[in-house]
Amino acid sequence: MNHFHARRGSLWAEDVPLSRIAEAVGTPTYVYSAATLRRHLGVVQSAFARVPTVVCYSVKANSNLAVLKLFSDAGSGFDIVSHGELARVLAAGGDPKKVVFSGVGKRADEMEAALKAGILMFNVESAEELALLDRVGRRLGVRAPFALRVNPDVDAKTHRYIATGLKTSKFGVPFEEAVALYKQSRRMKGLEARGVDCHIGSQLTDARPVKEAITRVGGLYAELKRQGFPLTHLDVGGGLGVTYSKERPPGVEDYARAVLESSPHLDATLVLEPGRVLVANAGVLLTRVLFRKKTVAKRFLIVDAGMNDLLRPALYEAHHDIVAVKPRRGPKTTMEIVGPVCESTDVLGHARSMAPLEQGDLLAVKSAGAYGMSMASTYNSRCRPAEVLVDGGEFRVVRKREALEELWRGESP
Ligand code: LLP
């Protein structure tokens, strides 16, 4: 459920008309709903309330400080993948003791920063990374808490670009090698085994691979405990899908049941790394119609947001519903909704059936709260969009539109 809805013939975010935001802030602009963000986090927290759980919101999905602060205030921890994400979490007032550090290529300086901050654990993805973490830990005179991210070799049945749990992927350590690595870590004075971790992919719409993966890593967790490792945390990753158009992902309750049924009697604190499910449907991208154009083959609607602002359609052929903020009456026609970027893949919506639109009309690209602004770039030297957070009847700019001079900051002619 989200708090974007039609009222008096126009689209609103909570109690604010989107047209008012566009007038005040311009376009393209990402608009997030605080009530939706809070609600989504609350649903996840309550679905897992009967077991000890740390929810670690996956910062890469939407790393705006206001979003991080809102989640932190509501009790969330964070899943980070870089020093930059750690710095954002700390700048937003997040609790480092609820931070897990994921990612396949951490540098020594990033490990050091995270150790100094006192994070919950590192999710380690290779033998060489484990050796480096040990060296960094010893240099700082501490034991670095870690989990191995184990690759359970299951097919997540999602887009091949965002599946990570097959043994052909770069992620995690092979399941068969995990026990030997944990044993090695016993002799490494800069390390302390704290958990086991897995993450099989993103935009999962089927609970079965989740069950399969967690059953496998849960078995490994139990085996390691039997061997005397003082493990306390089982990290089951993120990945729960959302509805962009017709997908029917499991609800959070069903997902929780799948996770809990596959990890019974483990006596572990669960770590969750949800990203998309918390933020995707809490955000829209507001854009204006620049021009209409008709060729012999197609009709095009050229808007002022492009693939640099929202990369998902160009990169994954991802579908986002696109609606007029104030729909006009009239017969529908099929059109390509495209951005201004000089690439043929700069298509936000392919073959969309739309009621009449005119120059200057506002559109909302829906479900854009996850992997929208966080993947935006300045390609074609386009300033990145502004971001706005709506809370009830109020809204505020939580990131100013990038200014032209910022485009060449640090360059020297
Ligand atoms: N944990 C780890 C280790 C991850 O790699 C990811 C996402 C998550 C958690 C959060 O997954 P989520 O709950 O958001 O599915 N840019 C792509 C998605 C890439 C996901 C990368 N990893 C997209 O726009 O669809």
Task: Give the closest residue to 302 by CA, choosing from 336, 266, 326.
Answer: 336
Answer yes or no: is the C-beta of 117 below 6 A from any ligand 1 atom: no
Residue 379 lies in a domain: yes
Instruction: Tell how far the Cα of 60 is from the centroid of ligand 1, in angstroms.
Output: 7
Which among 237, 272, 307 is the end of a domain?
272
Query: Is 71 contained in some domain?
Result: no
Break the chain down into helix, strand, coil percent, rounded to 5: 35, 25, 40
- Report the C-alpha gap between 119 and 131 in whole angstroms: 19
Helix or strand or coil: residue 410?
Answer: coil
Q: Is 152's C-beta closer than 6 angstroms to any atom of ligand 1?
A: no
Instruction: Give yes or no for residue 162 CB within 6 A of ligand 1.
Output: yes
**Alpha carbon of 143 to ligand 1 centroid (Å):** 28
Does 374 sit in the ligand 1 pocket, CB within 6 Å?
no
- Indicate whether 111 and 212 sit together in one domain: yes
pLDDT of residue 163: 76
What is the CA(238)–ligand 1 centre distance, in A? 7
CATH number for 368:
2.40.37.10
Under 8 Å between Cβ of 159 and 203: yes
Query: DSSP code of 27?
Result: S
75 assigned to some structural domain: no
Q: Is the CB of 320 under 6 A from ligand 1?
A: no
Residue 74 lies in a domain: no
Q: Does 393 reside within a domain?
A: yes
Model pTM? 0.98
Number of domains in the chain: 2
Residues 117 and 221 in one domain: yes
Whether residue 400 is found in the same domain as residue 295: yes
Clarify whether residues 298 and 258 are in a common domain: no
Task: Looking at the structure, tell me whether residues 375 and 264 fall in a common domain.
Answer: no
Work out whether strand 269-272 and strand 299-303 pair parallel, antiparallel, or are unpaired: unpaired
Same domain (yes/no): 109, 248: yes
Name the token pair of 111: 């490990």
Ligand 1 pocket, residue 28 CB under 6 Å: no
Domain boundary among 243, 272, 301: 272
Task: Specify the ligand 1 atom closest to the Cα of 61.
Answer: 14
Domain assignment present for residue 94? The answer is: no
Atom 6 in ligand 1: which residue has the minimum CA distance?
A: 238
Mutate to test the pocket of ligand 1, among 40, 44, 58, 104 (most ligand atoms within 8 A of CB): 58
Cβ 104 under 6 angstroms from ligand 1 = no
Distance 58 CA to ligand 1 centre (A): 7
The number of the ligand 1 atom at minimal distance from the alpha carbon of 371 is 24
pLDDT of 10 reads 97
For residue 197, which atom of ligand 1 is closest to its CA?
A: 3
Q: What is the DSSP letter of 101?
A: E
Six token digits for residue 136: 């960094």
Query: CA–CA separation, 175 vs 157, rounded Å?
Result: 19
- 250 in the same domain as 287: no
Containing structural domain, residue 23: 4-32+280-408
- Is the CB–ligand 1 distance for residue 237 below 6 Å? yes
pLDDT number for residue 162: 75
292 with 398, same domain?
Answer: yes
Active site residues: 342
> How confident is the model at residue 133, as a pLDDT?
98
Q: What is the mean pLDDT of each run of 10 residues along the chain (413 residues)?
A: 94 98 98 98 97 98 99 98 98 98 98 98 98 98 98 84 79 95 98 97 94 96 97 97 96 97 92 98 98 96 98 97 98 98 98 98 98 98 98 98 98 97
Phi/psi of residue 315, each to 5°?
-80, -40
28 and 142 in a single domain? The answer is no
In terms of domains, do 19 and 155 share one?
A: no
Residue 65 is assigned to a structural domain of this protein: no
Confidence (pLDDT) at 265: 86
User: Considering just the CA atoms, what is the radius of gyration of the chain in Å?
Assistant: 22
Of 272, 306, 325, which one is at a domain's C-terminal end?
Answer: 272
* Residues 183, 235 within the same domain: yes
Q: Is residue 51 part of a domain?
A: no
Distance CA 202, CA 277 (A): 10
Q: Which residues of 53-89 are buried (b: 16+ CB within 10 A; e: fewer)?
A: bbbbbbbbbbbbbbbbbbbbeeebbbbbbbbebbebb
202 lines ligand 1 (CB under 6 A): yes
Nearest Cα to 196, choosing from 228, 163, 155, 232? 232
Residue closest to 253 by CA, chosen among 57, 47, 54? 47
Residue 59 alpha carbon to ligand 1 centre in Å: 9
CATH code for position 118: 3.20.20.10
Which of 41, 60, 158, 204 for a ligand 1 pocket mutation test, highest count of atoms within 8 Å of Cβ?
Answer: 60
DSSP string, 290-359: EEEEE-SS-EEEEES--TTT--HHHHH-----EEESSPPPS--EEEEEE-SSSSTT-EEEEEEEE----T
Closest CA to 4 of 400, 373, 369: 369
291 shares its domain with 265: no
SS3 149: strand
